[in-house]
Amino acid sequence: MSTAQLPTLSLAERDRRWAAVRALMRDHGVECLLLGGFRSRELYESYVSDDYNEGCVVFPLEGDPVVLTWAHLRVLRAYWSAEQGHELWVKDYRVATTGTAAAEVVREKGDFKSVGVIGWRSQAPTEIHGCIPATWWEEFSGALPGVTFKDLSEELSHVMLVKSQEELALIRYAASAGEAACRVMRDVTEPGVGEEVIFAEGTCEMLRHGIGLRYPQIVMNSGPQTLSWGPPRWTTRAEKPRTLQRGDLLQAELMPMCGNQEIQVQMTVSLNPMDPVNQKCEKVAREAYEVGLKTAKPGIKFSELVTAMAEPLRVAGCWAYTPLLHSISPHFLAGRPQINMENVDLGVRYQGSPAMRQRDAVLKAGMVFAYEPNACIERHRVNVGGTVIITENGCEELNVIPTHVTHK
């Protein structure tokens, strides 16, 4: 795999983003914006820095921004890129190991009365309580008495979701890496092969494109019927990976990203014979995908698209375990309908009410969504899908292999 065609972002793209962020700041009456990256999934700081340093960016309404990170290692890493000819979007990199030190930078930039915050009360998969560490926030906010803080995470997410042509080039490149990984996983999946082999081959193929993977990188399970979903258990505990057998489904969700523009694909391989219930779920999931392609266009609401894609499930008596689709880069709009759930008992105890917020948006050209229709009957589940760009007249489908179940 050659990386000669790997797209990059220009300073013109930087200026476009900075202008959009400052327009948002003016609209909400904030004089400075703190963009938290830290250990978050969405890496918000990268939107204004084209970089990720496990810290944050202090971004004043007027004046130059400052990248703050936790160690000199990250600063010198950025400088090395610059020495190789990759111009940095932000010139001022500093180490600030406490929230108090970060507050000093805010004070240096101005006597602000109102500071916007990205990542304070953000919600994304695996991080539903924001991404800013509690101790850091206590130090930071405590060192800025009299300052009013306003969370603008969702507001910035709406800005980020509408992509420029340069960003769409990154999306398409990441989608090609995802498609290539699906091809490799399709070919290697056979009875007698362990999950770890398939996981390794898919990961290798994506990294071969010279890009990264968004946490949790690959979600995977296997078996004739299971609602297990997440990173393979053997990646986080001492548990032997499962070996595939005839009658199994190998289902995986891949999350490659290029320049912090993520895509997702849902790869399913059936090692036939396929259970009749799984066959029905496969048919319904594909129908939902096709409805999504026909329905998506600028001007309709995200919620309307979700309702349309849910109709095949409603008619067939299926239910959705995970969203049928969600926004991507960032992941903050999620469409999981609650149809046909009346008699579903997952056997899971809940403490309190679900905390996830329900959001909506009007679709615009340039938005990117992960289509991932899944259809469930009891504990049977089939998932297909790929990444889709909203265009002026409809949508552009970026993937092919993962949008159908591969039968072997």
Does residue 4 form part of some domain?
no
pLDDT for 397 equals 98
pLDDT in tens, 74-122: 999 999 999 999 999 999 999 999 999 999 999 999 999 999 999 999 8
**Are 403 and 373 within 8 A, CB to CB?**
no
Asked if residue 170 and residue 141 are part of one domain, the reply reads no
User: Count of domains in the chain?
Assistant: 2
Does residue 373 form part of some domain?
yes
Asked if residue 186 and residue 124 are part of one domain, the reply reads no
- Split at pLDDT 50, 70, 90, the class of 299 is very high
Does residue 2 have a pLDDT over 70? Answer: no
Does residue 191 form part of some domain?
yes
Looking at the DSSP assignment, which residues form a beta bridge with residue 7?
A: none
Asked if residue 168 and residue 311 are part of one domain, the reply reads yes
pLDDT in tens, 329-339: 999 999 999 99
Q: Buried b / exposed e across 355-364, counting CB within 10 Å, b at 16+?
A: eeeebebebe
Asked if residue 58 and residue 30 are part of one domain, the reply reads yes
Asked if residue 276 and residue 199 are part of one domain, the reply reads yes
pLDDT in tens, 317-357: 999 999 999 999 999 999 999 999 998 999 999 898 776 77
Considering only CA atoms, which of 397, 408, 371 is closest in space to residue 176?
397
Identify the burial level of 15 via C-beta atoms within 10 angstroms of its C-beta, where 0-12 means exposed, 13-18 middle and 19 or more buried. exposed
Question: What mean pLDDT comes out for the span 365-377?
Answer: 98
Measured N-to-C along each axis, helices 11-27 and 165-188 cross at an angle, to the nearest 10 degrees, of 110
Question: What mean pLDDT comes out for the span 269-279?
Answer: 98
pLDDT for 355 equals 67
Domain boundary among 130, 160, 190: 160
Does residue 358 have a pLDDT over 90? Answer: no
pLDDT cut 90: percent of the chain above it: 94
Q: How far apart are CA 224 and CA 264, in angstroms?
A: 23
pLDDT in tens, 35-86: 999 999 999 999 999 999 999 999 999 999 999 999 999 999 999 999 999 9
Output the CA torsion sign for 396, 357, 225, 285.
negative
Instruction: Please give the mean pLDDT across all residues of the chain.
Output: 96
Asked if residue 136 and residue 205 are part of one domain, the reply reads no
pLDDT cut 70: percent of the chain above it: 99
Looking at the DSSP assignment, which residues form a beta bridge with residue 270?
A: 249, 407
Domain boundary among 142, 160, 178: 160
Asked if residue 185 and residue 155 are part of one domain, the reply reads no
Does residue 348 form part of some domain?
no
Asked if residue 187 and residue 93 are part of one domain, the reply reads no
Asked if residue 128 and residue 249 are part of one domain, the reply reads no
pLDDT for 124 equals 80
- Could you tell me if residue 363 is left (phi over 0), alpha (psi between -120 and 50 degrees) or otherwise beta? beta
Does residue 311 form part of some domain?
yes
Domain holding 122: CATH number?
Answer: 3.40.350.10
pLDDT in tens, 220-246: 999 999 999 999 999 999 999 999 999
- Which structural domain, as residue segments, surrounds residue 216? 162-342+354-407
Domain boundary among 100, 133, 160: 160
Does residue 125 have a pLDDT over 90? Answer: no
Helices (H), 132-275: 134-142, 153-161, 165-188, 195-207
- Could you tell me if residue 49 is left (phi over 0), alpha (psi between -120 and 50 degrees) or otherwise beta? alpha
Q: How far apart are CA 161 and CA 393, in angstroms?
A: 18
Concatenating the DSSP letter of every residue in 45-103 gives THHHHS---SSEEEEESSS--EEEESSHHHHHHHHHHHHTT---S-S-EEE--SHHHHH
Domain holding 238: CATH number?
Answer: 3.90.230.10
Does residue 367 form part of some domain?
yes
Does residue 6 form part of some domain?
no
Does residue 135 form part of some domain?
yes
Asked if residue 358 and residue 247 are part of one domain, the reply reads yes
Question: What mean pLDDT comes out for the span 183-188?
Answer: 98
Asked if residue 174 and residue 102 are part of one domain, the reply reads no
Asked if residue 329 and residue 194 are part of one domain, the reply reads yes
pLDDT in tens, 190-205: 999 999 999 999 999 9
